Amino acid sequence: MKRMTMVQALNSALDIMMAENEKVFLLGEDIGQMGGDFGVTRGLFDKYGAERVRDTPLSEAAIIGTAVGAAMVGLRPVPEIMFADFLGTCYDQIVNNAAKMHYMFDGQFKAPIVIRTAAGGGFGGGPHHSQSVEGWFMNVPGLVIVGPSTPYDAKGLLIASIENDNPVLFLEHKALYRVRGEVDEGKYTVPLRQAAIAREGSDVTVVASMKMTHEALAAAEALAADGISVEVVDLRTLRPWDQATVLESVAKTGRAVVANEAPKMGGLGAEVSATISEEVYAQLKAPVRRVCGLDTPIPFSVSLEKIILPDRDDIKAAVQAVMDY
């Protein structure tokens, strides 16, 4: 085990998979000698060359279009979209090409593509560089959405995603890139579609992912001082999410809070809370509460951004509300 940042863990995963399988290649804006906007691909251009670490023009549609074609002929592309907000410019290639590939061709062609992209706010990036976009893709059959919260999970999930034959949207929260944790230096996988119990508890379940997992854990620690035992479930895979683990936890505690950084309407929080209400209604001691971002674009002002985006205090208040119901 070695202590790594999430950036280093992701870089290690890419290095391992490129060394193991010559069909794996990277493409994106400034991922070559520059090493990517956040340094995830640093050093890979010198090691594997321009054929397998390809700098592209500034065209997200071209990047994902190229990846779809490459996947159809047997390669395993890992394109990088610098900011998740720009997925809107290649939405058609993801939703109508990659996600439907296996279905449309009855398995004759596949789309083993892992689209890495930096998501989330909290750094004053403004309305075009700070969005949590998982809600844009939640109702797209054929697409897998992954969102790690720790360096260990990031490496294992990225390796598992590259080995998977489905198109994967791999969301990397920018606020977590410098988070450090213990990571195995060799190859390992973290299973897709399997949530993790990040903290065990008995009074209420908080379902979260990415940065909100850390906020939930901080809220749980604070609430423990008040005698409230919070169980934190880290989804890790957002689509299709692990219903069994979540529902088992909520059935045990009888209370649920769902935390998601994106706006409340039509998002991951709505999907998870609705499923909980449908499946374990009889075990609930209080209505499910959602903790989400406000329904507004994200401003450049960090002070205003802190008001718009949810945090540990919002989760703590929601937990106290379901406990007092």
Q: How far apart are CA 77 and CA 131, in angstroms?
A: 24
Would you say 130 and 121 are in contact if contact means Cβ atoms under 8 Å apart?
yes
Give the rounded distance of the alpha carbon of 206 from its chain centre.
17
Give the rounded distance of the alpha carbon of 172 from its chain centre.
6
CA-based radius of gyration for the chain: 19
Question: Comparing C-alpha atoms, which of 251, 182, 196, 237 is closest to residue 1?
Answer: 182
- Distances in Å between the Cα of 57 and the Cα atoms of 31, 71, 81, 171, 307 are 11, 19, 12, 22, 36
Core vs surface per residue 267-298: b (16+ CB within 10 A) or e: bbbbbbbebbeeebeeebeeebbbbbbeeeeb
Q: What are phi and psi of 248, to 5 degrees?
A: -65, -40
**What number of CA atoms fall less than 13 Å from residue 74's CA on the CB side?**
3
Q: How far apart are CA 262 and CA 98, in angstroms?
A: 24
Is 129 among the catalytic positions? yes
Would you say 33 and 45 are in contact if contact means Cβ atoms under 8 Å apart?
yes
Q: Which of 102, 129, 173, 214 is catalytic?
A: 129
Active-site residues, by number, are: 129
